[in-house]
Structure 1
Amino acid sequence: MAGDAPLFSFGLLADAQYADLPDGNTEGRRQAYREVPGKLRAALADLRSTQPPLAFVMHLGDIVNGNPAGQEQCDREFDLVAGIFKQQLGDQLPAVHVIGNHCLSVPRATLLQRLHIPPSCYFSRSLGSGWRLVVLDTTEMSGHSDYPPDSQQCREAQEFMAAHPMSDQDPQMSSWNGGITQRQLQWLRQALAAAEVAGERVLVASHHQLGEGGARATHMAWNWREVQEVLLASPAFRIAFAGHDHTGGYACIHGRHFVTVEGLLEAPSGGNAYAVVHVHADRLCIQGRGSVTSRQLVV
């Protein structure tokens, strides 16, 4: 029914990617690093005042960019952006953070502490109304994971890179991408199975896209094929949100949705890039603000 009230709603942003740097230019697109704090404050203030109140605000990774000036500067930039989330949202509106590749310009331990991310960096929580959020860490298996060189995460990343060299068949194997380990993949299977038993529908969040066509092939997770197979095998899975590919994207595979949210970093001057997502019994309504595409998706 078109006029029915949502079960719940939440705010959504991707790739704030702040740094105290001059504008960048990638593929002809402008990265306005120094405009990020103002845009982020405005976006979060609007989300905080949305009525009826939102259940949470989710940022899909790359909260900061990193800075060649060194670690102290990276830490200061992270302090600034983490502080904006705290100041604008307070204790009333929870923030859910996904780890992105640029986030790891600061230590992983710092991200976990300041952004209230569980130690595993991937987690599941009930959203109520028969929905569950599953957050994945697609930096866990990567060359920039910040895990010790002798860790299982690093060993698995080295083995995967050796078995999947960059090629036309695997254009996603750039150093700035990453994937999930077999341990995390098994955890995902178990989380989906538990949701099936509970009769819950599952919303997945990750930094790198997991569904073919949902982002450019060069911006997918390393082992997206394996993860996509696990997701589509579960009737509980309905939609996945990702960031990373700042231009945004969308794919529908067997009735399941894979959405890439446009990056706040590349919102034009005077504009912004974020969304409010209304979850109804039969659909998700993404109300894009600024550069983010609005969509109505049957779930």
Structure 2
Amino acid sequence: MATTEERPLFSFGIIADVQYGDLDDAMNFTQTKKRYYRNALYLLREAVQHWKEENRIQFVLQLGDIIDGFNTRRKNSENALQAVLKEFQGVPFGLHHIWGNHEFYNFSRSYLMKSPLFTGPESQDIASNLKEVVKKEADAVYYDFSPYNGYRFVILDNYDISMCGIGRDKDSPQYKKAGEILRQMNKNEELNSPDGLFGVDRRFVLFNGGMGEEQLQWLRETLEVARQRGEKVVISGHVPVHPNSCYVMCLLWNYQDVLNILQDFSDVVLAYFSGHDHGGGYHFDSGNEIHHVTLPGVIEVPPGSNAFGTVDVFSDRLVMHGVGQLESRVMK
């Protein structure tokens, strides 16, 4: 008979980069991997059905890029969004949608704030109850929630500072700041090209973004409150923040700012989950004892496989049960 300790405290589902579109299969931007646009919807359906049948997860972290940017060329963004949202109708678990670059290729922030992809207001109990936490921007999509006593999840907005698509208004300070950063570091006419950039500097491309000072301050203060409460924290964003957890061209522009904060709160933070790099990746930062997990992208999974998982949370470990191309692992 299973003891209480052998049962998880709670569980959640995780998936990234579905990038559905009613489009024929095609090669990716770098012409290195095939993308299965229509099949991605079937894989999402399979994941949702799996979680329903498991009947044990409390919520799903959908790590961004749920539809593909090519939908805009066919003026099919709204139909594609409705198709993926339909797969979540009536599910017996909560949803937390993170915004990636493809959300902004399709929609403005003002549109997304009014859409079902905005899951921020559900449980910002820290921000509403504690004056010491910084007030957030009006169109921010970073927030925190506590699904179980002693545990807190933090959702980051990795495109706060960005020139991606139509997400930010071109007159906004965030868009202008992104332009300054990119043009200082990337001298190419095509800003999605890393030509002439080396090492981690290859991250300074248009499809990445950064986090502003207000959000960084909010993250620091939120983690400080979690520390005071004795909570353990799991952080998620679309873009990876550790260079050993992904291909460096997929890193957050100011990833070091985030790593510095995580280092200061290594006694609190358990893991950072992200997508964006479709090849996936994993790195255990042994100095801080923080797990950096980059999920493989569903969009590049061929028919017959998949890439999603269920994470069981125990008092001393996270156990990720991967399906298909997502590797299972125990994270102590």
Q: Which TM-score applies when normalising by structure 1? A: 0.92
SS at match of 1:43: helix
CA contact (8 A) 1:18 1:36 kept: yes
SS at match of 2:273: strand
Residue 55 of structure 1 aligns with which residue?
58
* Runs (5+) with no aligned partner, structure 1: none
Residue 266 of structure 1 aligns with which residue?
300
Residue 296 of structure 1 aligns with which residue?
330
Question: Separation in 2 of the partners of 1:239 and 1:186?
Answer: 19
* Runs (5+) with no aligned partner, structure 2: 121-138, 187-193
SS at match of 1:285: strand
Letter in structure 1 aligned against 2:158: T
Equivalent residues in 2 for 1:1-299 (5 A)? 4-26=6-28, 27-51=31-55, 53-67=56-70, 70=73, 72-87=75-90, 89=91, 92-104=92-104, 105-112=106-113, 113-118=115-120, 119-144=139-164, 146-165=167-186, 167-169=197-199, 170-234=201-265, 235-253=267-285, 254=287, 255-298=289-332
What's the CA shift for 1:69? 5.6
Between 26-35 and 188-197, report the one with greater CA deviation.
26-35
Question: Separation in 2 of the partners of 1:262 and 1:14?
Answer: 7
Letter in structure 2 aligned against 1:96: H
Q: What per-residue deviation string (whole Å, max 9, x for no partner) do you get for residues 191-241 of structure 1?
A: 111111111111000000012201111111111111111112112111000
Q: What per-residue deviation string (whole Å, max 9, x for no partner) do you get for residues 84-142 of structure 1?
A: 2225x2xx311111100011112323333222333421101112131100000111111
Runs of 4+ in structure 1 deviating by more than 4 angstroms, as ranges, are: none
Question: Separation in 1 of the partners of 2:327 and 2:152?
Answer: 24
CA contact (8 A) 2:21 2:71 kept: no
What's the CA shift for 1:164? 3.3
CA contact (8 A) 1:78 1:106 kept: no
- Pairs aligned (count): 294
Question: Separation in 2 of the partners of 1:69 and 1:147?
Answer: 16
Question: Separation in 2 of the partners of 1:134 and 1:69?
Answer: 30
Question: Separation in 2 of the partners of 1:17 and 1:81?
Answer: 9
Question: Separation in 1 of the partners of 2:163 and 2:118?
Answer: 24
Letter in structure 2 aligned against 1:150: D
Between 280-289 and 24-33, report the one with greater CA deviation.
24-33
Instruction: From the superposition, tell whether residues 134 and 71 of structure 1 become closer, same or farther in structure 2 (CA, over 3 Å).
Output: farther
**Identical counterparts, % of pairs:** 32
Q: What per-residue deviation string (whole Å, max 9, x for no partner) do you get for residues 143-201 of structure 1?
A: 11622222221132123224433621511011111111111111111111111111111
CA contact (8 A) 2:163 2:206 kept: yes
Q: Supply the RMSD in Å over aligned alpha carbons.
A: 1.9
CA contact (8 A) 2:118 2:141 kept: no
Q: Which TM-score applies when normalising by structure 2? A: 0.84
Name the larger-Rg structure: 2
